[in-house]
Amino acid sequence: MNKFLRYSLSLVLAFVTSVTFAGTTPYKVLTFPDEGTEGQEINGYDQTWKATIGKDVWTIENFNTYQWNGWKYIKCGRKKVASVASITSPAIDQPISNIVLTIDNITKDKINSIKLQVATDADCNNVTEEIPAKIEDGDLIFKPTKSAANNYYKFIFDCQAGRKNGLIQVSKIAYYKVGDAPVIVDITNTAETAYTIAKAKELIDAGEGLSESVYVKGTVSQASKELNPTFGSLSYYISDDGTTGNELKVFGGLSFKGEEFTSVDDIKVGDVVVVYGKLKKYNTTYELDKDNILISLNGTTTGITNITTDEAAKNAPVYNLAGQKVTKAYKGVVIKNGKKMIQK
């Protein structure tokens, strides 16, 4: 049972920001893959291993690396089994005033809590401060007020049994010592100011703010070869000019409002799209990460792209888009004989 020395539960939750710290160099940083060898052997969600950066060693519990097979992050949370994962820092010889935990993806409804403990010992039995966080993705900023030299910092992730493995994805932890004032970089935008492919790739290379979703506009240069039968997603390529010379891959993309696509032909070469998702680099491929959402297709945001006026089958029943039967006096978009049309 933990012995709490001068224990304090922060009255203010660690907050989530839509930006990333940059400019001031963190005193310590944990990124993935790390420089050690233990993570290369991990391919599950129930093991404890060490991550090494220089001379610093973190203890990682119940996080998977997938043996670094294309992963630049770690994941925790198990399918059908509740679990608690953690990341514990080495003793840091300077007091720390800001810690930024980067969560790329999270299944919020399956997470009980995320919190930071500040302790005087490696096992974190002597906790001096505990800071809970809002359950969100993005850059979670923790501001210890009782830290001292040679403290340990332990992040704890309490997960329910999930519908799948990998409920939380962590790519970075940055520790800032007292007196440092990081500069803030914000890459968020709007559908109207969607990034070009060239700009999106520039942002990926810069590596700042990538935990946030952004809008990207391009022309489909390579259509998806198949419809994912499980998720109803399409993976296709877009570029600024519709050619294959300078592309961004839209990986595992979903249709409007996050709904499933119904056909591999829903997205075709030459289509102009605006897509909303997170930028990343998988090995050498620039991507919008899986579960990105289609915002606009050839200028429309409704998903209805083939509305026609049809005078045939005058006696056929007519329905509105909610599936309710309407009369001939109804005006607007209707469904008649299985087709969308405008009834005037």
Which of 229, 195, 223, 220 has the alpha carbon at shortest distance from 209? Answer: 195
Query: Parallel, antiparallel, or unpaired: how do β-strands 138-142 and 96-106 relate?
Result: antiparallel
d(Cα 48, Cα 200) in Å, to the nearest integer? 36
Q: How many residues does the chain have?
A: 344
Q: What is the mean pLDDT of the chain?
A: 87
d(Cα 178, Cα 172) in Å, to the nearest integer? 20
For CATH 2.60.120.260, the residue range(s) in the chain are 3-185
pLDDT digits (tens, 9 = 90+) for 292-309: 999 999 999 875 544 444
For CATH 2.40.50.140, the residue range(s) in the chain are 197-297
Percent of the chain with pLDDT over 70: 80
Q: What is the pLDDT of residue 106?
A: 93
| Integer angstrom CA distances of residue 190 from 16, 217, 295, 301, 303 | 19, 11, 11, 14, 19
What is the chain's alpha carbon radius of gyration, rounded to the nearest angstrom?
Answer: 24
Domain 197-297 has CATH 2.40.50.140: yes
The alpha carbon torsion through 104, 107, 108, 112 (nearest 10 deg) reads -110
Q: What is the pLDDT of residue 10?
A: 47
pLDDT digits (tens, 9 = 90+) for 43-69: 999 999 999 999 999 999 999 999 999
d(Cα 288, Cα 269) in Å, to the nearest integer? 18
pLDDT digits (tens, 9 = 90+) for 204-253: 999 888 878 899 999 999 999 999 999 999 999 999 999 998 999 999 99
Q: Strands of 126-132's sheet, edge to edge?
A: 3-4, 126-132, 111-119, 152-159, 83-88, 56-61, 48-53
Q: What is the DSSP letter of 259?
A: P
- CATH classification number, 3-185, choose in 3.60.21.10, 1.10.10.10, 2.60.120.260, 3.40.50.2300: 2.60.120.260
